[in-house]
Chains A and B, each alone.
Chain A
Amino acid sequence: MPPDANDSTVAQLALLSRRLEREHRARLAAEVLAERGLRELYQTQQELRLLVSIADTANQASSITEVLRFAVTSICNHTGWEVGHAYLNHHLPAASPLRSARIWNDSINPLFAELRDLTEQRSLVASNGWPGRVLATRQPAWIRDLAAEPDAECRKLSAAGQIRAAFAFPVTVGDDVVALLEFYCTRVRDEDHSLLLLLSQVGIQLSRAVERKISQDRLLYDATHDALTGLPNRKSFRQLLAQTLLEAQQRNTQCAVLFIDLDHFKLVNDSMGHHAGDQLIVQVACRIRSSLQPLELPTSPDQSAQPFCAAALVARLGGDEFTILLDNVITESAPLQVAEQIQEALKQPFQINGQDVFTGASIGITLSAPGYYSGDEILRDADLAMYQAKSRGKSRCIVFDRSMRDQAARRLTIENDLRRALTKQEFLLNYQPIVALDNGEIIGFEALIRWRRAGDIVPPSDFIPIADEMGLIVPIGHWVLEEACRTLRDWQNQFPREKPITIGVNVSPRQFRQPNFVAQVRQALANARVEPSALTLEITEGATMGNPEQAIATLLELRNLGVKLSIDDFGTGYSSLSYLHRFPLHALKIDRSFIARIDGSFQSFQVVNSIMSLANNLGIGVVAEGIETTGQVEHLRSLLCRFGQGFHFSKPLSRADAHQLLAQSLLCVTR
């Protein structure tokens, strides 16, 4: 082989070796690049997996602690850090200090026992300490080496568990840090920026879970509590009562229910408005609670301080009805003592819109002992007892007995009969003459409803309040209006006069507040073809006071229609003199209670005198109700009262009798 050929082969070999070497290095470099790519891909997948698993758990878990526990464990597994722990604000969403939720990734490793003790005793506040600084900044934070930190707190933690590195991140809802997760590692670790970014994302997922829990709690709270007073509502009271009854039976102890209904509440609502009524309810709830404070659930361990029962819970069932559940009632008199406490607490006036408002409580009590199987039965009987208390006069307290069920049954029968009374045409009107006091001339009548029930006449006081509660008062009132107008037309036709006969019709507050009330009146007048000026609508003070502006508007419409208006039972309700002059009234009807005492009581005389002056000043007339004696007539005449009605002249008459009376022209004033 020629030397140059040999040289050329050597050169070629050298070239090939060089190429091989270069290819080899290129392959290694490519492998390093590919490995880095694979590692990063792996890392990203793991991060994504962590985030997805935490998001899934946050979406599905039933409790916040469950989510936090999962997050703490997952992050420890992901990072390989030895210790993970979560703090939680247990009073969501109020901002109170964070405390340990006792959630650890590993709660048994003895190496970290001291760290756990230290942590669980702490209450975190925003400061420069660890991890308080996370609270202050609401940002994730990292410590490379706790032992090297100037902060004594850090060195203490480090010493507690041979801890070196730490990181923590917050879970925030709005501006509040509601939870904080912290992690510790026994090696020094440089800050991992991408990990902190990932944890910010985890924090967002966790905060959604907390937010959802807060709104769930809020919904649950709203569903079980009365919005006005914050007391448990009917639903939660019934649940608790059922549970307490069951436990009482198992323990062979007694519980009791107090059913409270406020006195005069309707009057406050009607006369001062619903807002005032609400204020009263709130204040009453507050007083009831504070009068029971030493008894309230949960049970105090020191039962010796509570001589008669162990625990009490107040609820508002709705309207002006409150209930109290007494658990572990030791003596039968215990509920009565509690009832007295409440009545005492409600005695002082309440300040509503700068006015003193008085109320009281009618209280019914039922004890669980005599064979109750459901809480609803107890509640029902306490309600019945309350009803009894109420019907026997205000501010009473009555313990349930079985006879009340019979009375309740009777009332139920009345309600049922009342519902059918209109269609069965069982109502009828009586008419009481209204006379001119100077000459005894009948100027008109007041129409008074009666109910003929199974042959007996039921007086209005026995069924009107029930009809009012049932809402039946509206159709009944409508019938009265129509019937009275028909009678009026007949009498005007049969007894034509220079000044036509008038008729007064009572209008209940509920009827008066019907939006189409004026239209109903107009229709009734048109149907009967009578002049509006012959009809007087008698309303009570309560009907006008709930919403005075609305009442004035209705009254003006009625006056424009031509109807006359009077205030019935004047002097017994909460009159608002500031409104009285704006009412387009024709007359005040002085309540019978003042007339009854006008003979003997100077004060009553003065009251009537004042009402007369008031009416004169307002330019309206006066009708005295319930006149029974000549003396009363004399007194009224002396006060220049021109009109009156009462047994002295005539009791309410049937239509036929009234017709007969009209047929005679005059009625002797003095008889």
Chain B
Amino acid sequence: MMGVVFNLLEAAVCRTYGEAQWYELLDKAGLDGAYTAIGNYPDTDAFRIVNAAAETLQLTPGEVLRWFGRESMTMLAERYRIFFDGHSSARTLLPTINRVIHAEVRKLYPNALLPDFSFEDAPADTLRMVYHSSRSLCDLAQGFIEGTALVFKEQITVEHPHCKLRGDHQCRFDIRFRELVPTKSPLAKD
């Protein structure tokens, strides 16, 4: 797992729950928490922290991942502004994930395990994304999608009608874009 994910997770936890909470999670997970953005760390480190958070927050690990995805996208947008330049909607940015964003990620992490997204025909107001990954971190992906909309202050609904974790042969997201309405704080929970 890319070090930047740990950094983002730390930032998200500290921002929402305070720094002490982060150290509690680290202690619970038995990790020292020294992660640098350009490092690569075992996936299990991330899972141990997520599981610790789930236990603490009384959530499922999936819910934690989705929350994290949503929270971290605004920070990613600050750090990697270039990916967002030229876009005014998640609708145009999401289809560039494979070609533009992941291409950039590979420059930093040549061995990174990155998911692949394909796009299928859907009704006009819907973007249908299919998630392919050996890690099955579809909840994180959903959080990232929702977080992207938050960056653009768009209101969307994301349905996850097919999920490999639920036994389907693939994970599908139907993302429906609504009229622009005043958004809630990006930090607010559902």
B-binding residues in A (CB < 8 A): 27-28, 31, 34-35, 38-39, 42-43, 80
Contact = CB atoms under 8 A, between A and B. Distances in A.
Interface string B106-150: 111010000000000000000000000000000000000000000
Nearest to A41: B107
A38 B107 contact: yes
Contacts of B107: 38-39, 42-43
Contacts of A34: 38
A35 B108 contact: yes
Contacts of B189: none
22 contacts: A27-B36, A28-B37, A31-B36, A31-B37, A31-B38, A34-B38, A35-B37, A35-B38, A35-B108, A38-B38, A38-B107, A38-B108, A39-B104, A39-B107, A39-B108, A42-B106, A42-B107, A42-B108, A42-B110, A43-B107, A80-B99, A80-B103
A80 B38 CA distance: 25
A45 to B, nearest CB: 9
Interface residues of B, number: 10
A80 B107 CA distance: 15
A204 to B, nearest CB: 26
Given A38-B108, A42-B110, 4 more contacts: A31-B36, A34-B38, A39-B108, A42-B108
A27 B108 CA distance: 17
A35 B38 CA distance: 7
Of listed B38, B99, B103, B106, residue having the most chain A CB within 10 A: B38
A364 B104 CA distance: 76
A39 B105 CA distance: 9
A28 B79 CA distance: 10
Contacts of A43: 107
A390 B152 CA distance: 96
A86 B108 CA distance: 33
B100 to A, nearest CB: 8
A428 to B, nearest CB: 95
A447 to B, nearest CB: 95
Of listed A28, A34, A35, A39, residue having the most chain B CB within 10 A: A35
Nearest to B80: A35
A28 B75 CA distance: 13
Nearest to B107: A42
Interface in B40-95: none
A28 B80 CA distance: 13
A642 B107 CA distance: 108
Contacts of B106: 42
A189 B77 CA distance: 22
A34 B39 CA distance: 10
A38 B106 CA distance: 10
Contacts of A28: 37
Nearest to A42: B107
Interface in B1-49: 36-38
B99 to A, nearest CB: 7
Nearest to B103: A80
Complex A-B, nearest 8 residue pairs according to Cβ-Cβ distance, in ascending order: A42-B107, A31-B37, A39-B107, A34-B38, A38-B108, A31-B38, A35-B108, A35-B38
A28 B78 CA distance: 13
Nearest to B4: A31
A43 B110 CA distance: 11
Contacts of B103: 80
Nearest to A33: B38
A81 to B, nearest CB: 12
B86 to A, nearest CB: 8
A185 to B, nearest CB: 13
Contacts of A35: 37-38, 108
A35 B108 CA distance: 6
Contacts of A80: 99, 103
A80 B106 CA distance: 15
Nearest to A30: B36
A190 B108 CA distance: 23
A43 B104 CA distance: 10
Nearest to A45: B110
B133 to A, nearest CB: 22
Of listed A27, A31, A34, A38, residue having the most chain B CB within 10 A: A31
Contacts of A31: 36-38
Nearest to A27: B36
Contacts of B99: 80
A31 B99 CA distance: 24
A421 B128 CA distance: 99
Contacts of B36: 27, 31
A28 B110 CA distance: 21
A31 B36 CA distance: 7
Contacts of A39: 104, 107-108
Contacts of B104: 39
A570 B37 CA distance: 106
A78 to B, nearest CB: 11
A80 B100 CA distance: 9
A38 B38 CA distance: 9
B8 to A, nearest CB: 12
A198 to B, nearest CB: 16
A572 to B, nearest CB: 89
Contacts of A27: 36
B27 to A, nearest CB: 19
B36 to A, nearest CB: 6
A42 B107 CA distance: 5
